[in-house]
Structure 1
Amino acid sequence: MRLMRRHGPLLLWMPLQRRVEAIAGAYFAAPDGAGIDFSAPSGEPALTAPDSVSWQVFKNPLALFAGGVAAVLLELAEPRVRTGVWHATSFRDDPARRLRSTGLAAMVTVYGPRSAAERMIAAINRRHAVIQGVTPGGIRFSADQQELLDWVHATACHGFLEAFHAYVRPLDAAQRDRFYAEGRASALLYGAVGAPASQHQCASMMQSMRSMLEPSPIIFAFLGIMQNAPLLPGPLRMVQGMLIRAAVELLPAWVRERLGLDRRWRLRPWERRLLQRAGADADRLLLRNCPPALACRRMGLPDDYLYRQAGQANWP
């Protein structure tokens, strides 16, 4: 892979750049064809500001993939969430479509104009309102229970933040707390009024859920799907299994032990170094037709605004 410029945004050799732009643009296109224009209306803010930690974290594709898988693992460890996700959604039948929808929802929440984000979240809330059931252990639940909404929001924050911290670049305590605080705007719209607003609060919530988290064959079924489904473009498929193991490593050690995720699910040292190099390069790879750059354009900022910040030690 040929990369242009050693400092600031990275650009690929032009034919390869166009190919990567096309793949990324297709990934973030709405599966139903409805689409969201991240570049308009001009000047409309998102739920978080361009100089936020969130706008930096969510622009990195490696952190999104590994962090998203880690979040789902934590969700599936909770029996009520697991039952709802596994039996009331399309994940088992069409994992690629489901992951694209989830990725697009994350992009709209972070980079979309606020009005579009509010409409999307309201639609998701309506779908959640009709999902209810009973776990195999006999626990009744509904998908819009506040405790479950809080947990799902916390797992997403934990997954994406820890993936960026581990495989892209370290974040200090203030940046980590700021990331959680920035998530409060979307959390409240989702009804997750008890979602953590700091690193400490997230760690406390993890401990409070300790007695609820449990192993399940569904977790290993999910990992099998993630390893074998064609989720990444052909040239990148060889690292898919590596990214799954990278996601497992983001879970707290006691969670991995409780779920039975032994050393077979750990990265080798050279794999970790490879992913860290790839994550750092991906963090500066400018994709002009993807939500981060389009959102910058909507806000009157240069397309490479976030990617220039990525090369600065004092962001944000």
Structure 2
Amino acid sequence: MLPAAIRDLIKPPPGFDIDFGRPRNAPALVPFNGISWKVFSNPVALFVGGIAAVLLELAEPSVRSGVWDHSNFRADPVTRLRRTGFAALVTVYAPRAEAERMIAAVVKMHERVTGTTPDGLPYRANDPRLLEWVHATALFGFLEAYHCYVSPLSLEEKSRAFMEGQEAARLYGAEHPPRSWPEWEQLLARTAPGLEDSAILREFLDLMEAAPILPAWLRPMQRLLVRAAVELTPYPMRAYPSLQRRGLHGGEAAIVRLLGKGAKALPLSSLPPAQATRRMCG
């Protein structure tokens, strides 16, 4: 029961019928068996890293307004989370043509996402600056979650993952996405002065803890994984009042590491990472 619940964290949501297993030997947007293929195959890293990434995105005022004013996060957080996670899997594992189709559809949808922040700053979802931030925070979240809770990654491996994500980032419209872990840290340093706390960060965490993502009897584990995501947030976010006392307690990091390492041994043959591997080895 527990393995099935963890596997479901990367199960395709209803309505997404992409065939990851064909055509044979069709390359993806990222190199076969690269760092991304390893990191994105772990359900715990994907879930924890995805929440950490959204926290960073919601700390940026324009991204926050675009996400909160133009999405169904409040009404249906489970579907939104699963769709976002599945989009990441398509970018890494799907045949290139399928990934390009999905990204083009997302870019077209984002053309309609425009508005003004509460402080009067105009924004548009396809702004390259915002796209660079969203892309970089997603990679940071997944890599850092894997590094902390599954298996350590070297600086070179982290940087290689950023290089592997270049093509997808540019298809989305990011003009200068970070090409290495040091470049991510530089982007974070440039962006940090404009990040801010908000009631939406607290509301998002409440939603992630209470939403029926895992079965009711596993809700304590779900809340643990949400706290693990908060624990990953870098300065200055980690000091925000909305995040205070919402990170891990005592020896909980060791429990999350057990879950992350255990997820590597789960039978995932019916899910996208394994399907894509068979496609490339067929």
Please indicate the TM-score interval, normalised by the length of the shorter structure: over 0.9
Instruction: State the partner residue of 2:193.
Output: 211
Cα 1:56/1:75, change in 2 over 3 Å: same
Unaligned runs of 5+ in 1: 1-15, 302-316
1:223 positional shift:
0.6
Q: Which amino acid aligns with 1:176?
A: K
Q: Deviations over 1:133-166 (max 9, x none)?
A: 0000010011000100000001101100000000
Matched, 1:148 2:130: yes
Q: Which amino acid aligns with 2:262?
A: D
Judge conservation of contact 2:7–2:43 (CA < 8 Å) in 1. Answer: no
Judge conservation of contact 1:25–1:290 (CA < 8 Å) in 2. Answer: no
Judge conservation of contact 2:10–2:43 (CA < 8 Å) in 1. Answer: no
- Distance (Å, rounded) in 1 between the aligned partners of 2:114 and 2:241: 25
Aligned length: 282
Judge conservation of contact 1:249–1:267 (CA < 8 Å) in 2. Answer: yes
Q: TM-score, normalised by structure 1?
A: 0.85
Instruction: State the partner residue of 1:119.
Output: 101
Identical-pair percentage: 47
1:121 positional shift:
0.2
- Distance (Å, rounded) in 2 between the aligned partners of 1:148 and 1:94: 24
CA RMSD in angstroms comes to: 1.8
Cα 1:259/1:280, change in 2 over 3 Å: same
1:50 positional shift:
2.2
Matched, 1:128 2:104: no
Instruction: State the partner residue of 2:90.
Output: 108
Note the 1:1-316 alignment, pairs <5 A.
20=4, 24=7, 28-31=11-14, 33-258=15-240, 260-262=242-244, 264-300=245-281
1:25 positional shift:
6.2
Q: TM-score, normalised by structure 2?
A: 0.95
Q: Deviations over 1:219-275 (max 9, x none)?
A: 10101101111011344322111111100111113221145422x112123211011
Instruction: State the partner residue of 1:9.
Output: none
- Distance (Å, rounded) in 1 between the aligned partners of 2:242 and 2:30: 37
- Distance (Å, rounded) in 1 between the aligned partners of 2:278 and 2:129: 37
Greater than 6 Å deviation, 4+ residue runs: none
1:49 positional shift:
2.0
Unaligned runs of 5+ in 2: none
Which has the higher Rg, Structure 1 or Structure 2?
Answer: 1
Judge conservation of contact 1:38–1:291 (CA < 8 Å) in 2. Answer: yes
- Distance (Å, rounded) in 1 between the aligned partners of 2:217 and 2:162: 34
- Distance (Å, rounded) in 2 between the aligned partners of 1:252 and 1:103: 21
| SS at 1:141 equivalent | strand
- Distance (Å, rounded) in 1 between the aligned partners of 2:104 and 2:256: 36
Cα 1:34/1:287, change in 2 over 3 Å: closer
Judge conservation of contact 1:45–1:113 (CA < 8 Å) in 2. Answer: yes
Cα 1:26/1:281, change in 2 over 3 Å: closer
